Amino acid sequence: MKDAAGKRPDYRCRAMSRALAAFALASIAAVAQATTLVALDTQDLVAQAKVVAVVDVVATRVARSGGILTTVATLEVVRAVKGTALGERLVAFSPGGRQGEWVQLVDGAPRLQEGETRVVFLEPAGPGVYRFVGLEQGALRVVPDRSAPGGFAVERHFVSRLVPKHSGLPLPLLPSREPLMPYLAKLDHLAGARR
């Protein structure tokens, strides 16, 4: 992936800038879009996904099929958990995108941006392509977090089914955070990964 000047984009740098800005904005308000979904917990996500990994979004483009826009993202694995390997490049589809002034928003689909780092849960969507399990539930943002061991956390923008309906229990504030490293250890455990 090269930019107009022929240079490889410094996506790690951009990821950090975006993540820092997102971190600052999170204190104001941040709620993700979505549709009617069955809320999945971590165990469901790992079980349903063929591929689980921490990835950098190295490129995105928007493809059009008639009246349908799709964001096609190229993801580079920076930490593999299940079904992939470090450095592997994967292609994932997310419905919706922008062409000129026309934007197609599919409620619930992750809106991936080049330079982001995400923990992704992918399932096959055709030969050599993937889609996100549980739509945005399968594409958690990785954000800097000073209080987390290792300095990073995963950010969840979706209400968890762990709170029983009509229980009156307080809902976790969204986005909710979880330190990245213990979260990955949990994913490893669930995936039965052997390294």
Partner 1 sequence: MKRAVLALALALAGALATPARAYVRSQDANTSVCLFWTSRDIHWRLSEPIDDLPFADVEAAVKQSFQTWHDATTPSGAHCSDMSFTYDGATTRTDTGYDPNATNNINLVVFRTKNCDDPGVVPTGDPCEKDVFDHPFACANKYDCWSHDPSAVALTTTDYNVNTGVIVDADVEVNDTGAYHFTTYSLPGCDPDQAGSCGRTCNSNTDTDCIGWDVQNTVTHEIGHVLGLGHEQALCFQQDPTQDATMCPTATNGDTDKRTLAPDDVAGLCAIYPKGAPPTTCTPSGHITITSAPAGGCSSSGPAGLLALVLALAVVTLRRERRT
The residues binding Zn ion (CB under 5 A) are 35
Closer to Zn ion by CB, 35 or 43: give it: 35
Closer to partner 1 by CB, 174 or 191: give it: 174
Kindly write out the interface string for residues 67-106 of this chain, putting x where it contacts partner 1 by CB under 8 A and - elsewhere.
xxxx-x-----xx-----------x-x-xx-x--xxxxxx
Residue 50 makes contact with partner 1 by CB under 8 A? no
Question: With b meaning 16 or more CB within 10 Å and e meaning fewer, what string describes 133-172?
Answer: bbbbbbbbbbbebeebeeebbbbbbbeeeeeeeeeeeeee
The partner in contact with residue 63, picked from Zn ion, partner 1, none with C-beta cut-offs of 5 to 8 angstroms by kind, is partner 1
Closer to Zn ion by CB, 107 or 123: give it: 107
Interface with partner 1: number of residues (CB under 8 A): 93
- Distance between CA atoms of residues 192 and 133, nearest Å: 19
Query: Contacting partner 1 (CB under 8 A), which of 88, 123, 190, 191?
Result: 123
- Distance between CA atoms of residues 181 and 188, nearest Å: 10
Q: Both ends of the chain: CA-CA distance in Å?
A: 30
CA angle 81, 87, 91 (to 5 degrees): 85
Query: Contacting partner 1 (CB under 8 A), which of 88, 144, 179, 191?
Result: 144
Query: Contacting partner 1 (CB under 8 A), which of 138, 139, 154, 177?
Result: 138
DSSP string, 145-195: -TTSGGGEEEEE-S--TTSPTT--PPPPPSSEEEEHHHHHHHHHHHHT---
Residue 129: CB minimum distance to partner 1, A: 6
Query: Contacting partner 1 (CB under 8 A), which of 133, 153, 154, 187?
Result: 133
Residue 56: CB minimum distance to partner 1, A: 7
Residue 192 makes contact with partner 1 by CB under 8 A? no
Query: Contacting partner 1 (CB under 8 A), which of 1, 43, 150, 189?
Result: 150
Strands 51-65 and 139-144: unpaired
- Distance between CA atoms of residues 79 and 140, nearest Å: 14
